[in-house]
Structure 1
């Protein structure tokens, strides 16, 4: 009886010295902190774009909302706008949960001690340890687990930053008439800089923004969170996040349209662009694309700008080799037949 034995043969590591200096990857933590700063810079650019979109929005008293088939099919329920935020919260909470489990899985594979809460209260301590630090493992490894959670954060920040810069151009170049929502009675922005700060701090939810159509900002975070759950949720559970994530996503799309927060095309354009960008900026053990790292390579801080020379981090994808071996019993049986 033959037994398949799977061996993981890693491909040779890329020779870092043969690459130009601008293509050598920065340390992952350096990328994380600098792309986080770049994320807030892109948010500030979007805040400026929202001011332009709000000022250039056609007068609702003169220009009626554009025809939209789903507006005609789905009844208007303004209260559903808050349910969109609930979906965003749930999706992001699941993303945080999945990434935290990935951290625990990596610690377990490295042989680290289990994490525990820093207090000892009967029953409460046990409950908190189980809720916060229980390791769930589906057994699937779509990517190498080492530092994968840092790569997830870098991928999230780079995709989100790209989408916000893209959105700036979309909402400022073409001005659409307001949908049938609160923007039919627009509020004048009396303190532009304050509104920009609120946009950065609250990611737009606490600022005045009408006219930012053609590209749904809510759909960016909804689609991005769903993509993260689809790609990395399998570390924790084989199918749960790939079912619940899309269900919440499409429920949020319904709420956006029912509350008339955006036209249908706003959702289609945003969802397609976000998912496509997420697929293009694929998971890499070295972090972001070198073209994106060029944007932050010249920064003096935070973190070191010295390229990473570790072969382990830059090893190529592993190749599974299956070797068929013959068991001892089978060999003995073959010899008896020959005799």
Structure 2
């Protein structure tokens, strides 16, 4: 896969909102965090636009995406926040144009649909990580979340073990392959479409937010019956952002579902709708071990 160039101090980055307009105050706070990193931040023309007409909304979101990728001065593209609707614009994206202009594309949650689509059709490494308004605002931001952006400058590989969060092994073994995945709901929604995640020989990352245990069970079963787990090399389970009582039910679902897995499965990574929220590149080589639990990921930039 194509790796984008690393960031340098003084580089220009664009903030866009493919999944919906962010809170303006929170976006400005997140923008200041990027500026403290030495980056020149530009905001997409339509980031705050609100339209009742979905056709107009999609065209504006698409325009910001294309403009950011085609602007030679922009070295990275960061999504403002989550929301809904990215699946609608996926068929309209000019993936050849993105492939000719590779650069960092970063987001998560509903952005998962675009992370996978761009990987599949542009052969570009994408990044699952904290977003400008929803994660870098003054109320939510943590030092750990901010540190997620450092590898974009240094080009270093990432290593995640129990020093970052107490990892729990659900199935033993060692697996190596491309890291793919993202939000479980969006991965399930992509089944049977041209944007379905390719898990053959891959390490699959899953996370979600505010979904009850029965929905997690339903989605995992759907993925399983669609063959998603047939050739995976491992599963990385991120955060599910639910109340403790519901998470206890989700843990039981995960334990029962993966108890006989022939590949390593490790949970409790602070990846997803949580703080800290650690960013990871998707589409690059990763290694997951269960004893001790540890995830090592190649750099996503060159």
Question: Max radius of gyration: which structure?
Answer: 1
- Shared fold, TM over 0.5: no
Whose relative contact order is higher, 1 or 2, with alpha carbons under 8 Å and at least 6 apart? 1
Larger relative helix fraction? 1
Q: For the superposition of Structure 1 and Structure 2, which TM-score range results when normalised by the shorter chain?
A: under 0.3
TM-score, reference length from structure 2: 0.21
Larger relative strand fraction? 2
